[in-house]
Copies of this chain bind each other. A is one copy, B any other.
Amino acid sequence: MTDRAAALPRSAFPHWQPIQTRWADNDSYGHVNNVVYYAWFDTAVNRFLLERGLLGPAVDWLGLVVHTHCDYFESVAFPQALEVGLRVANLGRSSVRYELGIFAEGSDRAAAQGQFVHVYVQASDRRPLPALPEPLRAALAPLASPGLT
């Protein structure tokens, strides 16, 4: 278990989105299944990008997911309202490593925390890009927390 990260405080995350749980997010144990957290990560990152025009038909690039991980600290359950905090843990040459924390409303302790790595490719032929597109880098730089990386 030596690869488990320490939970970051809310203040580590510059960007936030609400998360609505769904009935079937709960599994037979009556709490949210471990798989569902990744659906929240995926949604938070893609929503951030879509709302800024950095993903979709208007651009000729897209990020392919090459790594994800999650540490689970406390269980959550439908119908709880949750929040996801997002920061950029690393802006690479042609990749972005996001860090995400899932928080119960009012809690300062992450219920779960993980990472999500995109490698950028050309949308048309999915060939690797030599570098992150400039508008993407510009939008993500403010979410990077060098002191925390």
Contact = CB atoms under 8 A, between A and B. Distances in A.
A38 B24 CA distance: 10
Contacts of A20: 18-20
- Determine how many copies of this chain the complex contains: 4
Interface string A28-66: 111001110011101100110011000000000010111
A17 B78 CA distance: 15
A20 B40 CA distance: 11
Q: How large is the interface on A (under 10, 10 to 19, 20 to 34, 35 or more residues)?
A: 35 or more
A72 B79 contact: no
A1 B70 contact: no
Given A20-B20, A24-B39, A72 B65 contact: yes
A140 to B, nearest CB: 16
A105 interface: no
B1 A22 contact: no
Contacts of A51: 79
B38 A22 contact: no
